[in-house]
Amino acid sequence: MIDAVVFDLDGVLIQTEELWDEVRSGLARERGARYDAEAQRAMMGMSSLEWSQYMHDELGVPETPDEISDEVVRRMEERYRDRLPLIDGARDAVERLAARWPLGLASSSNRPLIDAVLELAGLAQLFAATVSSEEVPRGKPAPDVYLEAAARLGVDRARCAAIEDSHSGIRSAKAAGMRVIAVPNPSFPPGEEALAEADVVLDSLAELRPEVVDPDAK
């Protein structure tokens, strides 16, 4: 029996993996630092504390990790306020599940970006708890952000379902002991080994319905 549902944000509700890549690569290249496909893959799912440190230590961006994170967040929020890249069907999917369960959100995005997206999308009131991985010790694929979301919802983690799109995210939610519904990101699809860990794999958010989240739902 499922008592709550926890959504990922990037790649599930908003199409931003390309935007994150564009903003971080742009900053790195402006600073004369290295950036390539390996760097993009490495940072997927990392918390802001982790990817900003990576950009400083591994890519050679000269600013401090805090300065790197602040500048990337500033550029991302500017893009969101210009045009929010909400995925087709995201609002309907959230509203469908919110009518049945309390919702949480477990995201690798920074807190200001989470709050901006939910405000701009008109969805903030539908989420009872939201967690950024910068608020927990470890980012995805560690389970910390999902465990914290369950704790803030006051629900046993084993009675939560997670909606995920990425390799690291699926592994994170599964490690937390949740039922995992995967909606793979077509631009950055999860590996077969991660998909094999998902309990359900959907083609789109249009298929995300209460009976899929919990076959025992009435």
| Residues noted as catalytic | 8, 10
Buried/exposed 170-186: b ≥16 CB within 10 Å, e otherwise: bbbbbbbbbbbbbbbbe
At residue 105, what is the residue type?
L
Query: Which residue in the block uniquely carries the two structure tokens 């379902």?
Result: 161
* Beta-carbon count within 10 A of 38 CB: 10
Helix axes 17-30, 48-57, angle to 10 degrees: 30
Alpha carbons 126 and 99: distance in angstroms, whole number: 9
* Beta-carbon count within 10 A of 115 CB: 15
CA atoms within 13 A on the CB side of 92: 9
